């Protein structure tokens, strides 16, 4: 009769609904979804840490100018105004706008950076095939995927540019271009490095041999 440890090694709990599912073989192809809640547990591709690690590093490097360079430049009647993402968040951290500033700080700066850090650490471990305490990093990776909302922020900027077009001349700044590329790279990494798929690869690398 299989022991509790052996059962846990062959079963995996869906992170959304908690359904116990048999782990697919590492060589299995096709998208793997929970039959109960349709949560995607892995993609229809093999996980390759090296290119994803390079994309994560590139996204992290682009975050520096994305935070500090002007996002938009507004010109109205000869008056030029511009601000970076970091300047905008700091400006909202005063008076009645403090809750909005804290929310933006959390969803636009802290969680995306945690997402890049945790993804980079897990992908580095998968690349180097080195043992590590993957559970806390995997928890950070899962939750930061849910709370990093820079893509929604970019949609808001697009709407604002459309609305302000009749009132002032709006010019995209270098910070906006860096932010767009950084977000696109991060979304590619999130799509190709599903948490459960990454966890299975780390466990397979560190599993004891027969």
Q: Provide, for the chain, the percentages of residues in helix, strand and coil under a 3-state DSSP scheme, each rounded to the nearest 5.
A: 60, 15, 25
Return the CATH number of 48-193, one of 1.20.144, 1.20.120, 2.40.128, 1.20.140: 1.20.140
Other CB atoms closer than 10 Å to residue 189's CB: what's the count?
23
Q: Which of 204, 182, 192, 184 is nearest to 134 (CA)?
A: 204
Contacts 24+ apart (CB under 8 A), 81-87: 82/173, 84/175, 85/109, 85/175, 85/179
Instruction: For residues 165-187, give the mean pLDDT.
Output: 87
**d(C-alpha 10, C-alpha 22), whole Å:** 6
Q: Where are the domains of the chain?
A: 48-193
CB 166 within 8 A of CB 54: no
Mean pLDDT of the chain: 80
Work out the pLDDT band at 5, boundaries 50, 70, 90.
very low
By mean pLDDT, which of 31-45, 69-83, 194-208 is the weakest? Answer: 31-45
pLDDT of residue 6: 45
Work out the pLDDT band at 12, boundaries 50, 70, 90.
low
Q: What is the pLDDT of residues 64-101, one digit of tens each?
A: 999 999 988 877 766 667 888 999 898 888 878 899 89
Work out the pLDDT band at 176, boundaries 50, 70, 90.
very high
- Residues in contact with 148: Cβ distance below 8 Å, sequence separation at least 6, in sequence order: 107, 111, 112, 114, 115, 186
**d(C-alpha 127, C-alpha 122), whole Å:** 9
Q: Which of 36, 38, 2, 40 is nearest to 20 (CA)?
A: 36
> In percent, how much of the chain has pLDDT > 70?
74
Residue 176, class by beta-carbon neighbours within 10 Å (0-12 exposed, 13-18 middle, 19+ buried)? buried
Of residues 20 and 116, which shows the higher confidence score?
A: 116
**d(C-alpha 52, C-alpha 147), whole Å:** 21
**d(C-alpha 25, C-alpha 116), whole Å:** 28
CB 188 within 8 A of CB 58: no
Q: What is the pLDDT of residues 41-51, one digit of tens each?
A: 665 456 788 99
**d(C-alpha 141, C-alpha 146), whole Å:** 9
For residue 184, what are its two tokens? 């696109």
For residue 207, what are its two tokens? 């599993």
């Amino acid at each position: 009769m299989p022991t509790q440890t052996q059962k846990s090694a062959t079963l995996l709990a869906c992170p959304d609904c908690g359904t116990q599912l048999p782990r697919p073989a590492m060589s299995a192809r096709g998208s793997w979804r929970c039959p109960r809640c349709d949560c995607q547990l892995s993609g229809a591709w093999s996980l390759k840490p090296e290119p994803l690690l390079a994309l994560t590093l590139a996204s992290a490097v682009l975050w520096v100018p994305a935070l500090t360079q002007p996002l938009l430049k507004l010109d109205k009647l000869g008056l030029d105004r511009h601000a970076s993402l970091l300047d905008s968040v700091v400006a909202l951290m005063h008076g009645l706008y403090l809750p909005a500033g804290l929310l933006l700080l959390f969803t636009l700066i802290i969680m995306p950076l945690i997402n890049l850090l945790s993804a980079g650490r897990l992908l580095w471990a998968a690349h180097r095939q080195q043992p590590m305490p993957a559970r806390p990093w995997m928890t950070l990776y899962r939750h930061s995927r849910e709370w990093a909302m820079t893509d929604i922020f970019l949609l808001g900027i697009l709407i604002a540019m459309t609305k302000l077009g009749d009132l002032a001349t709006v010019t995209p700044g270098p910070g906006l271009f860096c932010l767009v590329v950084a977000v696109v790279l991060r979304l590619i990494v999130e799509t190709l490095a599903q948490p459960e798929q990454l966890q299975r690869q780390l466990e397979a690398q560190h599993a004891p041999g027969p």
